Amino acid sequence: MVFQFEGEPVQAIEGQMLATALMASGVTVFRSTPVSGAQRGPLCLMGVCFECLVEIDGRPNQQACMVAVRAGMQVRRQAGARS
């Protein structure tokens, strides 16, 4: 199945967690931090570190490691603090 990351199509397997689907396609930078703008990606892959935050279908600060991919999902990097 296919979802979108930053407007580009990404191949994924049904049931895969979004974080692993993104990493498997070569994405390592998921977000920039609110205070310093540093680039971050997943660390714990089990929902406790909050490093893998992305925007999914317009909802900011979603933990990519806790969400399964869905066909047509629109994912963007989380840029700093949400509004």
Partner 1 sequence: MKPDSGTRNIDPLQAEVDALVIGGGVVGASIAYGLARAGDRVRLLDEGDEAFRAARANFGLVWVQGKGLHHPHYAVWSMASAAGWGRFASELQDLTGMDLALEQRGGLSFALSETELGARVEHMEKLRAQLAPLTSHRYPFEVLSAAEARELVPQLGPEVAGAVLCPLDGHVSPLNLLQALIRGLRLRGAQHCTGVTVTAIEPLSGGGFRVTTVPSLQGNSAAALRAGEGTDVSGAQAVPAAVAGSAQVHVCRTLVLAAGLGNRVLAPWVGLEAPVRPNRGQVLVTERLQPFLNFPTSQVRQTHEGIVQIGDSAEDVGFDDTTTLPQLARIADRAVRLFPLLGNVNLIRSWGGLRVMSADGFPVYDASSEMPGAFVVNCHSGVTLAAQHAGPLVDWIRGGPKPAAIAGMGAARFKDGSPIVSSH
Min dist CB 21 to partner 1, Å, is: 22
Task: Show Cβ contacts of residue 59 under 8 Å, excluding neighbours closer than 6 positions.
Answer: none
How many angstroms separate the Cα of 48 from the Cα of each of 3, 54, 56, 57, 68?
25, 15, 19, 22, 17
Residue 36 lies near partner 1 (rule: CB under 8 A): no
Q: Does residue 35 bind partner 1 (CB under 8 A)?
A: yes
CB of residue 81 to partner 1, shortest distance in Å: 4
**Residues engaged in binding partner 1 (CB under 8 A):** 34-35, 61, 80-83
